[in-house]
Homo-oligomer: A and B are copies of this chain.
């Protein structure tokens, strides 16, 4: 099927939506609505949109907007292997890291699906050998620690997933098989701090960079090597280093890395959590069986995302609701509020996923657009946030759409009753109370104690944060982000906005090493001088 790329504001149904009077949540919210507006979005995960300002008629218009922008058809184009990242002239194939979908695709895609499966087999076998001691450190010690050196997509997603599952392993008294740490920032204090905690003899370093040229990652690798040498001269460093990189990158070097796993060119950094970028470290930490459950959860959401009916396709419905918030209600931010400590770094991952994918001012064809794209995304776990920035969310002068995440059960099954209820009950009572308070508010004659309400939210809700539910949660947001891009008619898969800063930083660094072949930039020099 052929697809057309049309700006959102050219869509007739979007214009209809803009003139439709938004309902007040206070008028439409009811107990019945809470249980009715609930859709399965993967394995052990539902999407509940009862506290969003949308009625039945609007949902019909939403469906038309989705149809007009051909959201699901464009997703099928992605799966077919069309060049859906035109800025980089690339296909977009991350969905295939978690399984094959029953959609027509090119032969080249089939080839790559097989390559992805092979990588999973390779790193599963590698992790098993580390666990059973067949692969050891160079001094004969068993590995008990892995340190991932990477930045951006090679750090945020894997780190969020590792933290999310660490507690799950403790449920049955188990611990992670391998304890993991992460080094990302080029600030040398980051690596120093991690290195002060670990024993190099029992540590495996996973260096992750698709291009094999990421400045921070190469620099940190050099710093780590120098710290290992200063600590223990007898170590053969290459036996403690493995690479996750693009095939043929400068990092594919057996003299420096004892093993290499591959990221395909058609998997973007922020969408790479389910590739070797997340897979190697998660398999080392928890075993590949756990990682494969994450894949299964993500795959379930990828299938759901193929539904044309928005009421059966939560990532698409969620994208439509967010576009409504952003372009019609003119909100500028979005709060991600997981009521689960295990998801403490999940908002940081989503901040990258959403803002880097959709913080654009050019459309899919590279022309300027004149409407809002990605909001600012931020968040911290509840109940912590309640004692912090929720004051502004409740009584501030701007409306912030709220995205809650919650689970019926805690992960670690370690709890206590205090004043007649458990911690987990208190956690969820707070979550239910917050949704209600934001939506309904409470009148008070004293403006300082008045809550206007009408502050909308939705929630991703599961029984427990299992590996499957986590995979579904991750893919829900990835697919929602992709659908937002289709609705906004932008390319969610490139990131030209990061280039200028890199270029200027290199200018400073190479100027200092004597490269005169550069235009003068006195302002840049002046800022650089502030730090010397």
Interface residue from B342, B394, B505 paired with A500 (Cβ < 8 Å):
B394
Interface residues of A in 345-389 (CB under 8 A from B): 348, 351-352, 355-356, 358-362, 366-369, 371-378, 380-384, 386-389
CA distance in complex: A184, B380 (Å): 12
CA distance in complex: A377, B368 (Å): 28
Which B residue's beta carbon lies closest to that of A154?
A: B387
In the complex, are the beta carbons of A497 and B35 less than 8 A apart? no
Least distance between A158 CB and chain B CB atoms (Å): 13
A406 at the interface (CB under 8 A from B): yes
In the complex, are the beta carbons of A371 and B397 less than 8 A apart? yes
A392 at the interface (CB under 8 A from B): yes
Given contacts A34-B527, A359-B396, contact A415 B448 (CB under 8 A): no
Q: How many residues of A contact B (CB 8 A)?
A: 159
In the complex, are the beta carbons of A189 and B384 less than 8 A apart? no
Q: Chain B residues near A29 (CB, 8 Å)?
A: 523
In the complex, are the beta carbons of B378 and A424 less than 8 A apart? no
CA distance in complex: A369, B87 (Å): 46
Interface residue from B35, B87, B342 paired with A526 (Cβ < 8 Å):
B35
CA distance in complex: A432, B524 (Å): 6
In the complex, are the beta carbons of A361 and B395 less than 8 A apart? yes
Least distance between A28 CB and chain B CB atoms (Å): 11
Least distance between A528 CB and chain B CB atoms (Å): 4
Q: Chain B residues near A386 (CB, 8 Å)?
A: 152, 498, 501
Q: Chain B residues near A432 (CB, 8 Å)?
A: 504-505, 508, 524, 527-528, 530-531
Interface residues of A in 495-532 (CB under 8 A from B): 495-509, 512-513, 521-532
Which B residue's beta carbon lies closest to that of A218?
A: B418
Interface residues of A in 309-329 (CB under 8 A from B): none
Q: Chain B residues near A138 (CB, 8 Å)?
A: none
CA distance in complex: A461, B529 (Å): 12
Least distance between A483 CB and chain B CB atoms (Å): 18
Q: Chain B residues near A439 (CB, 8 Å)?
A: 523
CA distance in complex: A448, B361 (Å): 7
Interface residues of A in 430-471 (CB under 8 A from B): 430-437, 439-442, 446-452, 459, 461
Least distance between A112 CB and chain B CB atoms (Å): 25
A68 at the interface (CB under 8 A from B): no
Q: Chain B residues near A348 (CB, 8 Å)?
A: 380, 388
Stretch at the interface among A5-13, A94-102, A332-340: A332-340
Least distance between A91 CB and chain B CB atoms (Å): 18
In the complex, are the beta carbons of A410 and B188 less than 8 A apart? yes
Q: Chain B residues near A400 (CB, 8 Å)?
A: 376
Q: Chain B residues near A380 (CB, 8 Å)?
A: 348, 351
Least distance between A424 CB and chain B CB atoms (Å): 6
In the complex, are the beta carbons of B188 and A513 less than 8 A apart? no
Stretch at the interface among A59-67, A70-78, A219-227, A272-280: A219-227
In the complex, are the beta carbons of A412 and B447 less than 8 A apart? no
Given contacts A155-B384, A339-B187, A366-B447, contact A397 B421 (CB under 8 A): no
In the complex, are the beta carbons of A406 and B87 less than 8 A apart? no
A103 at the interface (CB under 8 A from B): no
CA distance in complex: A38, B527 (Å): 12
CA distance in complex: A2, B446 (Å): 26
Stretch at the interface among A123-131, A139-147, A190-198, A253-261: A190-198
Q: Chain B residues near A382 (CB, 8 Å)?
A: 185
In the complex, are the beta carbons of A526 and B377 less than 8 A apart? no
Q: Chain B residues near A437 (CB, 8 Å)?
A: 500-501, 504
Q: Chain B residues near A269 (CB, 8 Å)?
A: 387
A170 at the interface (CB under 8 A from B): yes
Least distance between A170 CB and chain B CB atoms (Å): 6
Least distance between A11 CB and chain B CB atoms (Å): 18
A427 at the interface (CB under 8 A from B): yes
A426 at the interface (CB under 8 A from B): yes
Q: Would you list the 6 A-B pairs with minimal beta carbon distance, nearest first?
A: A359-B392, A152-B387, A433-B504, A378-B378, A359-B396, A34-B526
- Beyond A408-B532, A433-B502, 10 additional contacts (C-beta under 8 Å) are A34-B530, A151-B384, A218-B419, A226-B416, A355-B392, A366-B448, A369-B397, A432-B530, A433-B504, A437-B504
Q: List 24 A-B contacts (CB under 8 A).
A: A34-B523, A35-B526, A35-B530, A185-B381, A186-B427, A187-B341, A188-B416, A188-B424, A189-B340, A219-B416, A219-B419, A223-B418, A223-B423, A332-B333, A355-B392, A356-B388, A359-B391, A359-B392, A359-B393, A376-B378, A430-B501, A433-B524, A436-B504, A441-B500
